[in-house]
Structures are given as structure tokens and as C-alpha cells.
Amino acid sequence: MRITQNPNYIKSSNLLFLSACIGFINLLLSPDVLSSRSAIITSVIIILFILVFGLLVRFEISWVKFLLLSSILIGFNSLPQFIKEEFSYHPINAITLILQSIAQFYATFLLFFTKKLDWWS
């Protein structure tokens, strides 16, 4: 495997790594997750999946963009309701969740536009 030289794939993988870091911070800030062993294990597995996605993107594995898109589309239905619920109980966690979602949306967007965007530079 070779590491990609495509700037959009590098930006996308960096955004996925950033999303995993934000997810780890969210894990540490969430009192509900830290009280349950199964919730901790689930959160760590999800963070590891995001890190693996970032590595696959960095190695320019082309099918991972479709996997990311499908996972975003599946999670998109419950995201507004979950953010609303988080804002009422844990506002800081809701903000980190929004930041994490934005990073993942934009990382997936960059994967589908491999040519350099004129308005970005």
C-alpha cells in the first residue's frame, strides 16, 4: 500500500482523525458513557472505526468513501433528534457532536471531489 499524494484524500483523512479526537474528548466529557462499561466499550470501538476509516482514506482505498457515505446517510435520520436531546442534558457534548458531524460530512464531501476545487484555494 502506498500513502496518497492527493490533497483531498489527505485533508479528508486528517478530518477523520480530528473527528476521532473530538469523539475521544466527547467520551471523556460524557457522564452517561463513563458510568457504563458497555457504553465505554461501544464508544471506543466506534472511535477505532473512525481511525480505521482515516487510515483507509490515507492509503487511498476507493471503496471507503461509499462506506462513509452510507454510514452518514444511515445516521442522518437520528442525528437532529439526538443533538436536541443532548442539548437539553449535556450541552457541551452536543457541541462536540456537532463538530464531529461537520468534520465527517466534510471529509466525505472531499472524497467525492478528487479534483482541486477552485473556490477552496
Residue 52's CB: how many other CB atoms inside 10 A?
13
Closest CA to 110 of 13, 22, 43: 13
Mean pLDDT, all residues of the chain: 87
Domain of residue 43, residue span: 7-112
Q: Is the residue at 36 inside a domain?
A: yes
Whether 114 has a pLDDT exceeding 80, the answer reads no
Q: How many CA atoms are closer than 13 Å to the CA of 17, on its beta-carbon side?
A: 11
Residue linked to cell 466499550: 41
Residue 2 belongs to a domain: no
Q: Is residue 25 part of a domain?
A: yes
Number of domains within the chain = 1
**Tens digits of residue pLDDT in 41-60:** 999 999 999 999 999 999 98
Per-residue burial over 24-34, b = 16 or more CB atoms within 10 Å of its CB, e = otherwise: bebbeebeebe
pLDDT tens column, 48-98: 999 999 999 999 888 999 999 999 899 888 888 988 998 998 899 999 999
